[in-house]
């Protein structure tokens, strides 16, 4: 018997409010740069390359872009990018975050702009030198300020005691899951091996040239118990971008549209600021915002877990995939480990995941690459294409706040 967190009614909102944006917008262009450890380029140069590729892929020109949405961690501003690509007249812009929770919420902002008539073609992008420049995975100190530290972020409760990085927090959550449900290291390893197999088929993946066995996974250096080297995502230089427009307009453009069936954002009560540490301050640290986001998302899309053909889960760590398998209703609470180990998440399984290699093996562009890969699955041109895929779930980072969307074939 599956005990699911998503069966309860989504809080708030009228039926009309839940349905009014369904299928009204689509992704019509995608673009990305090379993913590397050292781009040797500015983040503006990377953003410009990915954006111009996405615009060309859509069969549009920069002059057609009248909206830009960015991550609030992105160093490149909307104005700088508009100038660099030659978009002369923005009528809409926004910045969403924090960090990994942003990509699908950025898509929600683009949808809102188009449906409300504030823009006709919106460029959504993320650009970062996440390995050669500012490294999000490094430890922080109590004097750090900015979007991921200081200024009321609650980091002061953790940093003085050595809890300085997201990996340490997720290691504690992984240990908690193991204690509660008997989750094993091998079950986390099944996730790492699955996404590495997908990366091995992807020429653009940073680790595409390196295979991974369970013995190699289990013997890898431990970073923060129980998470070892291959439980951690990559640090990456690169950029991704997509173009969103109305579904009506999309049908006349160059590529088959990926219809945005629904988008959803959400949080848990008292989410608090900071990188990840405040999760540990909640009455139930294993209650993630993906639970409520899943309920809202499925209701808005008129779908359920059984309607999803392929998923691109935000995988900053293997444990984040495992808890999302549960939170999005693909297995019962505490059953994520056996589900992953069963082969269900492989290319031939009931729910193939992270088909380009994900954050763990393709590259870490804060989850924007998951959206690009989701579109490829809907178009039918992924390097690990799921035969007959009609729908794709894409999720963004947790645990503070999160967002997700469902793409479908038009």
**Residues marked as catalytic:** 314, 364
Torsion of the alpha carbons at 343, 346, 352 and 357, rounded to the nearest 10: 140
76 to each of 69, 91, 119, 127, 367, how far by Cα in Å?
11, 18, 21, 7, 17
Return the SS3 of 94: strand
Sign of CA dihedral 377, 379, 380, 383: negative
The answer for 267, left when phi > 0, alpha when psi is -120 to 50, beta otherwise, is beta
For the record, the structure tokens of 250 come out as 């999309």
Please count the other Cβ atoms lying within 10 Å of the Cβ belonging to residue 307.
15
Please, what's the b/e burial string for 49-58 (b: 16 or more CB within 10 A of its CB; e: otherwise)?
bbbbbbbebb
Maximum Cα–Cα distance for the chain, whole Å? Answer: 57
CA distance 98 to 254: 33
For the record, the structure tokens of 283 come out as 């009455």
Q: Please name the residues in contact with 269: beta carbons below 8 A apart, sequence gap of 6 or more.
A: none
Q: What is the DSSP string of 145-187?
A: -BTTBSSSSSGGGTGGGT--SHHHHHHHHHHHHHHHH---HHH
């Amino acid at each position: 018997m599956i005990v699911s967190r998503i069966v309860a009614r989504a809080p708030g909102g009228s039926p009309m409010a839940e349905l009014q944006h369904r299928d009204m917008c689509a992704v019509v262009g995608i673009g990305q740069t090379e993913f590397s450890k050292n781009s040797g380029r500015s983040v503006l140069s990377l953003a410009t390359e990915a954006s111009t590729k996405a615009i060309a892929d859509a069969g549009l020109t920069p002059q057609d872009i009248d909206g830009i949405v960015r991550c609030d961690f992105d160093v490149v501003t909307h104005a700088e990018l508009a100038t660099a690509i030659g978009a002369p007249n923005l009528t809409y812009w926004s910045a969403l975050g924090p960090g990994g929770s942003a990509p699908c919420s950025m898509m929600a902002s683009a949808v809102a702009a188009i449906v409300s008539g504030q823009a006709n073609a919106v460029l959504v992008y993320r650009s970062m030198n996440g390995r050669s420049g500012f490294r999000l995975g490094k430890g922080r100190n109590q004097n750090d300020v900015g979007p991921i530290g200081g200024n009321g972020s609650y980091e002061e409760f953790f940093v003085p005691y050595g809890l300085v990085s997201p990996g340490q927090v997720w290691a504690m959550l992984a240990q908690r899951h193991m204690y509660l449900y008997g989750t094993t290291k091998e079950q986390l390893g099944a996730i790492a091996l699955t996404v590495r197999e997908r990366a091995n088929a992807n020429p653009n993946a940073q680790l595409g040239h390196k295979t991974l066995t369970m013995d190699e996974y289990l013997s890898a250096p431990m970073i923060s118990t129980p998470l070892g080297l291959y439980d951690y995502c990559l640090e990456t230089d690169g950029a991704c971008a997509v173009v969103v427009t109305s579904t009506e307009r999309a049908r006349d453009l160059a590529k088959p549209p990926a219809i945005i069936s629904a988008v959803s954002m959400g949080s848990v009560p008292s989410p608090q600021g900071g990188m990840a540490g405040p999760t540990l301050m909640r009455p139930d640290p294993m209650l993630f915002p993906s639970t409520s986001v899943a309920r809202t998302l499925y209701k808005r899309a008129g779908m359920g877990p059984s309607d999803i053909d392929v998923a691109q889960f935000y995988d900053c760590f293997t444990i984040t995939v495992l808890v999302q398998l549960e939170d999005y209703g693909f297995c019962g609470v505490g059953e994520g480990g056996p589900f992953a180990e069963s082969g269900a998440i492989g290319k031939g399984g009931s729910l193939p995941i992270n088909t380009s290699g994900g954050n763990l093996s393709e590259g870490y562009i804060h989850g924007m690459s998951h959206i690009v890969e989701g579109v490829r699955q809907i178009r039918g041109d992924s390097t690990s294409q799921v035969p007959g895929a009609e729908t794709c779930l894409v999720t963004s980072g947790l645990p503070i706040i999160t967002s997700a969307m469902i793409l479908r074939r038009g």
